[in-house]
Homo-oligomer: A and B are copies of this chain.
Amino acid sequence: MNATPKRLRKVILSGIRKSLLEFGSATKVELSDKLEISFPTISKFLTQMEKDGEVISVGLDESSGGRRAKRYMYNPEYMLGLAIFLERTETNYAIFNCVGEVKEQGKVPSVLVEDGLHLLTTSIEKLITAYPKISSIAIGVPGSVDNGRIFYIPGYEQFQNFDLKGFYEDYFSIPVVVENDMNAAVLGFHHNRRIQDNQSLVYLYSGQNGPGAGFMINGDVVRGSTFFAGEVSFVPQYNDRNFRQALENGTGPKEVPISQDYQIDAISRLVASFTAIINPHTIIFCNDEVEEAIVEKIALASSKYIPSEHLPDLTISDWKQDYLYGLQSLGLDLMLNQPLK
């Protein structure tokens, strides 16, 4: 349950941080109104945060008829985040500040190899030494993750069933989050487009291992009972073909970008299924797989199967970018929940 004053403090603190970042800057009264926390409490927190260098005073507001209010902004460089993308062929990383600006981006050899863990550890160590303000680590992996433990990662058995989060939190004493690549992308899209919470999104992609989807429903990532959610390859669509078979059309290698009519019909049937089942607000396609004109064709084709007023917003986005945003947003969340020093 955790309904204690200590918990309250954490919630208030992270509320102040989030509001300052959201608004860009704010006065104490604005924060008090927004967060519905009393003025003296806001004041006490802000005084301490200013002392720590976490917030900066940026002068006085114009008077609105009385004494002028002091305006504060969050110091975006106060904490940095580290995002790491584990991929088959390479490992990318990005260091970003609290407003999402990337301070440094780079790559190291893939760590999804024998003794990769050690390689990863030394890479992180170097980065933390160079940027001591790093206060969170977000790691994206091409596998299923349950609360920081890598659950199922076909092809990279040395990481299978390894508690990456626990390991690095102990090792570095910095909060760590580990998330599946697809789920991170959905989160990133959600966060970047500033979509209201508790909306539902579907991110559709053609992976190396066949098509898949990431779901966010009511604002939560969907993992499924056996972490099988999103394996849309298996959706039966025609008398004797499922989605994957329909996409491949018996020709073996898949065609990308999407262009053929049989592909469009298969996708529009999938869109119809999503709509009839979870009725999401938005379905997102990858910009390197689908073009604008094709999306329109898919929308048109879908309306053969379902009333078009229920059709979700079909949109295109940059998967890589959303993946980064997603890891950033997960890391930022960890930072904003950190206690006052």
Residues in A lying within 8 Å of B, measured CB to CB: 1-5, 8, 11-12, 15, 35-37, 199-200, 213, 215, 217-218, 220, 222-239, 242-243, 269, 272-281, 305-306, 309-310, 312
Contacts and interface: CB of A to CB of B under 8 A. Distances in A.
22 contacts: A3-B11, A3-B35, A3-B37, A5-B8, A218-B220, A224-B310, A228-B276, A229-B278, A229-B279, A230-B277, A231-B276, A234-B276, A234-B305, A234-B306, A235-B276, A236-B237, A236-B305, A238-B238, A243-B276, A273-B277, A274-B277, A277-B277
Rank and list the top 3 A-B pairs by shortest CB-CB distance, nearest first. Answer: A224-B279, A234-B276, A229-B279
A27 to B, nearest CB: 17
A220 to B, nearest CB: 5
Most buried by B among A12, A37, A231, A312: A231
Nearest to A302: B236
Given A229-B278, A312-B225, A273 B1 contact: no
A125 B276 CA distance: 40
Nearest to A243: B276
Nearest to A202: B277
B312 A215 contact: no
Contact of A222 (B213, B232, B278, B310): B278
Contact of A233 (B213, B228, B276, B312): B276
A223 B273 CA distance: 15
A235 B272 CA distance: 6
Contacts of A231: 276, 279, 310
Given A217-B222, A220-B220, A229-B279, 8 more contacts: A1-B11, A3-B12, A4-B8, A228-B310, A229-B278, A231-B279, A233-B276, A238-B238
B228 A275 contact: yes
A205 to B, nearest CB: 15
